[in-house]
Amino acid sequence: MSLTPKLEALIQALRRLPGVGPKTAQRMALHLLERDRDAALQISGALSDAATGIGECEQCHSLSEETVCEICDNAARDRKTLCVLESPIDLMAIEQTGGYSGLYFVLGGHLSPIDGIGPEDLNIDQLLDRVFQGEVEELVLATNPTVEGEATAHYIAEQLRSLDIKVSRIAHGVPVGGELEFVDGGTLAHALAGRRQMER
């Protein structure tokens, strides 16, 4: 079957999604056009509304439909604790745990010199400005446990060395319910290095 220009354009657009290769994009496009045009129109409308109606919170840089998001606007949140993340999806993951009541700050990525991403390409200057204002007493660095995430956390901690502020890093280790034989060596090393004394 030869592809029409519009079908080819749809497939190419779907390929821009993470984890979607040419075959998957083709299957998605054909499914929507052959079997579920209502869903195609619904997706199209929702995507258009989201792309034009969702921006960034001016305080935490997460996704928001308002100038200031619900979390930053919530007076019940602990304003002295600020959790630094790479992306809004990380914020969603932490919020779903229900175990954190402070505020957030989204960097918009991580440092990666090999990809040409330096401090000026992230929201690091805005983060430092916010910390220098003096309201934050603890900065929780929750960047991903990758080489780039660790480098980003280290860079931020270095920038704040002169301030009297607690800078902490999220713990990395063995997942709850995980079996040691299936855990990679790097994770085990972090878990051993971060061990704590048991209360008796």
Tens of pLDDT along 101-159?
A: 999 999 999 999 999 999 999 999 999 999 999 899 999 999 998 889 999 999 999 99
- The residues, any chain, with a CB within 8 Å of residue 100's CB and separated by 6 or more, are 83, 94
* 119: its two tokens: 């401090």
- Which among 140, 108, 113 has a CA at the least distance from the CA of 125? 108
Query: At 112, phi and psi to the nearest 5?
Result: -155, 85
pTM listed for this prediction: 0.83
Q: What is the CA 10 to chain-centroid distance, rounded? A: 27
Residue with tokens 């001016």: 58
Radius of gyration for the alpha carbons in the chain, expressed in angstroms and rounded: 21
pLDDT value of position 172:
78
Res 41: pLDDT: 94
For the chain, the straight-line distance linking the first and the last C-alpha, in angstroms and rounded, comes to 70
The secondary structure of residue 61, as a DSSP letter, is -
Low-confidence stretches of the chain (pLDDT < 50) are: none
Domains within the chain, CATH numbers bracketed: 5-53 (1.10.8.420), 63-169 (3.40.1360.10)
